[in-house]
Every structure is written in structure tokens, then in C-alpha cells.
Amino acid sequence: MKETLALAADALLDYVDLKQGWTKPAIEDDNFPPDATLHGAASVLTGLAGACDAGPRFGMVPELTARWCEAARVLRAGIRGRVESPKILEAAGWRGVAWTLWPAPVFETYDEPGARLLKEKLAANIRSKMDKSRAGFAYLGEDVFILALADPQGEYRELCASALRLLCREAAYPGADAFGEVTVWGDFAGTGERVAQQRTSIPHLWNGVTVYLSALALYDREAFAGARPPVK
């Protein structure tokens, strides 16, 4: 896989603005038009940091590895310098808040001010998906497992556990224990009680996997110890 890894890491370099310490505008997910938010910055940083870590162990050309490490260092510094900005947090991209916490190697500890801000924002997002005031939600499991990993002191443990219970007991597709990509809250039976209905792609593999990861993050955090590139 050495050649594939090198080609991929070199391709990621094209998305880093070394002078600005940020990513260049791109279609960060399936969104359009191109943008440059925490969503893209966190994922590009994760890839480059992983390549930087793997390079010496895989016997990569040192000059190549040095370029990946430098881009990762600059991008990490750029994220750390911006992450407390209300403007950056407000327009963080679809998954920018979560991915900046994990797996992007941004913070030394999760008690840093920037990390605490992101955790508060992610927790608020989880609550808004759980309280049934919205029409529906997507990817609650992903939010939960990342917040659980970023919460070694257990400040949000009960919130994560409550969300996991909701996913397992209310949101899972009846009779199949599967999850669609989007969960809709509605009073479909006219009883006055809002219940979950799964929409699009049943079952949606990633949503099912993230429910499992949420349980693992809550009860066996050490299983993820080597899953994030090291902070350098």
C-alpha cells in the first residue's frame, strides 16, 4: 500500500493553503458549492497526520514524509488558532465540530478551551436531535461516539448514554434493529406521541456501526487508543 498511501497524501497537499494555515475551497462532502470549513480542515489534517506517522514506519522517502508532516503541522496550528472563533464554529461544516474533536489530532487534551467549546456545541446538537422538537435527525450515533471519546472525565456520559438508549429503543427500525440514514419524528398514528420512522437507505450500515461504536466508546474507551493519528 506504500504507493497508494503516498499518492493519497500528495493529493491531500493540494488542499492545504500553507500561507493561511487552512484548506482551500473544495466540495467537502456532497455539498455544493465549494467551501473551506472545519469539516474539510479536520479531515485533511487527519489524513496528512496519518501519513506523517506512517511514513517512517513504511520506509517512505524522507523528503515526502517531511512535506506531509509540515502541512499537517501548519494546518493543525491554523485550526487551533481559529477554533474558538464564533464565525468558524457557526459555519463548521456538516461534521466539522465532531471531526475536529476526533479523529483529527488537534488537541493535546480535551480540557483545552477550544475542545470544551466544541464539546458544548456537539452536546447541544445531540440534545436537539433527542428532544423531538425537530422534524428529524441524521447521524446521531456518530455525534454520540465522538463526544464519548472526547469526554474522559465523564461530564457528558449520561447524555451519551441517554442518546444511546434512544437509538436502541426508539429509533431502530422495528423488527429489524436497523437504522436508516435519516430518522423522522412524527405523530403518525394520531395518538399525540411522536415516534421514530426511518427514511432513506434501510438499513444504513454506517448508522448501525456508529451505534455500536457509541457503546464501545462509553464502556471501552481504550479500544480507540490507537485509532487517532498522534498529536505532533
* Averaged pLDDT in 10-residue chunks for the chain of 232 residues: 94 96 93 92 98 94 95 98 96 96 97 98 96 92 98 97 96 85 93 90 88 96 93 80
As a whole number of angstroms, the distance between CA 22 and CA 110 comes to 22
Q: What is the pLDDT of residue 175?
A: 79
The pLDDT tens digits for 69-118 are 999 999 999 999 999 999 999 999 999 999 999 999 999 999 999 999 99
- Residue 124: other Cβ atoms inside 10 A: 11
Backbone phi and psi for residue 201, each to the nearest 5 degrees, phi listed first: 55, 75
Q: For the chain, what are the domain ranges?
A: 1-106, 112-226
Q: Which residue has the cell 471519546?
A: 149
Q: Report H helices in the chain.
A: 2-13, 38-57, 62-82, 86-90, 96-101, 113-130, 140-149, 157-166, 205-219
Q: What is the pLDDT of residue 32?
A: 84
Cis, bond preceding 56 (omega within 30 deg of 0) = no
213 sits in which H/E element: helix 205-219
The β-bridge relationship of strands 195-199 and 16-17 is unpaired
Cell reading at 179: 437504522
Cell reading at 102: 476526533
